Amino acid sequence: MATKALTLYDTTIGKKAVMAASGIILLGFTLGHLSGNLKAYAGPTEFNEYARWLRTMPALLWGARLALIFAFSAHIYSAFSLWRRNKSARPNRYQKKVDLATDYAAKTMYLSGPILLFYVLFHLVHLTFGGQLFGDGTIFGIEGYTWEASNPYNNLVHGFQHWPIVIPYVLGNLALGVHLFHGIWSMFQSIGANHPRYNQYRRDLAIMLAALLTIGNLSFPIAVMAGYLEPTTLRFNFPELL
Amino acid sequence: MKTKTIKLHVWRQSGPNDAGRFETYTAENVTEHMSFLEMLDDLNEKLIADGKDPIAFDHDCREGICGMCSMVINGYAHGPDERTTTCQIHMRHVFDRGWDEVWIEPWRATSFPIRKDLIVDRTALDKIIQAGGYISIRTGSARDANEAPIPKPIADRAFDAATCIGCGACVAACPNASASLFTAAKVGHLALLPQGQAERMSRVKSMVATMDELGFGGCTNHGECEKACPKGISIDFIASMNRDLLKSLVVDRGDAEAPDEGA
């Protein structure tokens, strides 16, 4: 049989493997991000100190950011390329089609993915670049929501007192949960990690991690709105965060 | 004996270049003992008697083993019963579901061009086989049974993959019209047996490359194929194929060390 000079990325399977590998990087980030944010429950000083600490290692911070940008790009580009191919593989749809195995999460990956992308951009503009966007010192022009460069804790907590911040956050995190429910299971399949002894746990792991991240992330707006997390009057002076 | 009148919406297309459309027919005196294909035979007799063009559909053995019959019935590839080909669907199954109206469509995929009505050209699957679904070593004369020791569970698993009849229901049911389950079954049964080892890495590369070239979609792990497969072939074989392909392209040294074929 003729063997063609084939590279991994030429194949649909290779592209799915790239989606799985970049997905693992992005999943790792969301887990690290949540565990860092949980410091909000330890109090404003711990939370802000953690934020400052992240900025004390610019090489590591930018290394991580570059890795994430790369993973995002690879994930999105591969998804788009596969999507285009899959559309052209069946241009004429069925009049009637019954789904026997697939689920809501799997069918809406092309919806939850773009929602997540827009949410991540919104989130970056909000809490990474928020202070610099509007000249008047407010975030998204929301009255009374002022950017405090040395106090990320207040930027977080104040934000969840405003619906224009809470609604995209909740939608983004629900999309994250749905996306991961299929994505985590799917990546085992894509990289060929299957074994009769462990296969049953792949879905369990997907449910566990998707639930952990969604519930963990959604706990912040709930805690703020329930009054459990309150803005601090403490003043911080962290030049690293400027 | 129960008889019923059933309304049929059948995809009619005079040739590959015709746009195609649904046409509605009334099948009268359908008995519960008729097979689904016999119901269509009966309708065709009437169409012929009326001087009309009968509905063209693929069929051959009518025993559920040849893989020829191919149609999507009310949204189910090969009809609603699990692990059953269209020819093995009987009208009592249709009656049991309370269906008075049935939509019949061909497999829909770019790689399966429609020839006429419900008949599609599945040559693409043959091309995937031709790309490596065989063993090219000289095997000599027949050897004694059990000369090559193969553990029973492995033999069973290889057989599970080898039960693929190449009907294309996996492609038809897949949201992406992907031939991953078919290719995985053909790659898988040889990858499990000692005879298949020599060409294992080149086979998976060649067959996957051909599958992609033919315009099938990619696998997005929905699992529809496994449910539609009349032989119940598991998507575990797709994972195994993925692993073999990644191995062949990332870590296998075979091709990299082989002398250039052109030289």
> CATH number of B123-257: 3.30.420.40, 1.10.3720.10, 1.10.1060.10, 3.40.50.300?
1.10.1060.10
Q: Using CB atoms, which residue from B131, B203, B242 is nearest to A192?
A: B242
Whole-number pLDDT of residue B263: 41
Cβ contact, residue pair A101, B226, below 8 Å: yes
Instruction: Supply the CATH number for residue A213's domain.
Output: 1.20.1300.10
A188 touches chain B (CB under 8 A): yes
Range of the domain at A140: 9-77+104-241
A34 touches chain B (CB under 8 A): no
Q: What is the pTM of this model?
A: 0.94
Q: How many domains does chain A have?
A: 1
**pLDDT tier, A242 (very low <50, low <70, confident <90, very high otherwise):** low
Say if A48 falls within a structural domain: yes
- Reply yes or no on whether the pLDDT at A159 is more than 60: yes
> CATH number of B3-105: 3.10.20.30, 2.30.130.40, 3.40.50.300, 3.40.630.10?
3.10.20.30
Average pLDDT, chain A: 93
Residues near A81 by beta carbon (within 8 Å), at least 6 away in sequence: A15
- At A52-94, the pLDDT tens digits run 999 999 999 999 999 999 999 999 999 999 999 999 999 999 9
Sheet holding B72-73, edge to edge: B21-31, B3-12, B101-105, B72-73, B76-77
**B110: nearest CA partner in chain A:** A89
A13 touches chain B (CB under 8 A): yes
Beta bridge partners of B109: B112
- At A21-44, the pLDDT tens digits run 999 999 999 999 999 999 999 999
Q: Measure in Å the smallest separation between the Cα of B151 and chain A Cα atoms.
A: 16
- Reply yes or no on whether the pLDDT at A167 is more than 80: yes
Interface probe for A, chosen from B137, B160, B201, B246 (most Cβ of A below 10 Å), is B246
Say if A187 falls within a structural domain: yes
Q: Are B207 and B131 in contact (CB under 8 A)?
A: yes
**B202: nearest CA partner in chain A:** A3
Residues above pLDDT 70, as percent of chain A = 95
Q: Where in chain B is the domain with CATH 3.10.20.30?
A: 3-105
Say if A88 falls within a structural domain: no
Residue numbers in B near A196 (CB within 8 A): 236
What ipTM does the predicted assembly reach? 0.93
Whole-number pLDDT of residue B221: 97
**B103: nearest CA partner in chain A:** A96
Residue B95, Cα to own-chain centre: how many angstroms?
A: 26
Cβ contact, residue pair B75, A98, below 8 Å: yes
- Reply yes or no on whether the pLDDT at A4 is more than 80: no
Q: Using CB atoms, which residue from A95, A190, A191 is nearest to B103?
A: A95
Q: Where in chain B is the domain with CATH 1.10.1060.10?
A: 123-257
Cβ contact, residue pair B246, A192, below 8 Å: yes
Q: Using CB atoms, which residue from A11, A93, A194 is nearest to B212?
A: A11
Whole-number pLDDT of residue B252: 87
Return the H-helix or E-strand segment holding A62.
helix A58-89
pLDDT beneath 70, residues of chain B: 255-263
Say if A17 falls within a structural domain: yes
Taking one residue from A and the other from B, the number of pairs with CB-CB distance under 8 angstroms is 159
Whole-number pLDDT of residue A65: 96
Rounded Cα–Cα distance for residues A39 and A54 (Å): 13
Phi/psi for A190 (5° steps) reads -65, -35
Say if A167 falls within a structural domain: yes
**What one-character DSSP code corresponds to residue A149?**
T
Q: Are A189 and B242 in contact (CB under 8 A)?
A: yes
Say if A128 falls within a structural domain: yes
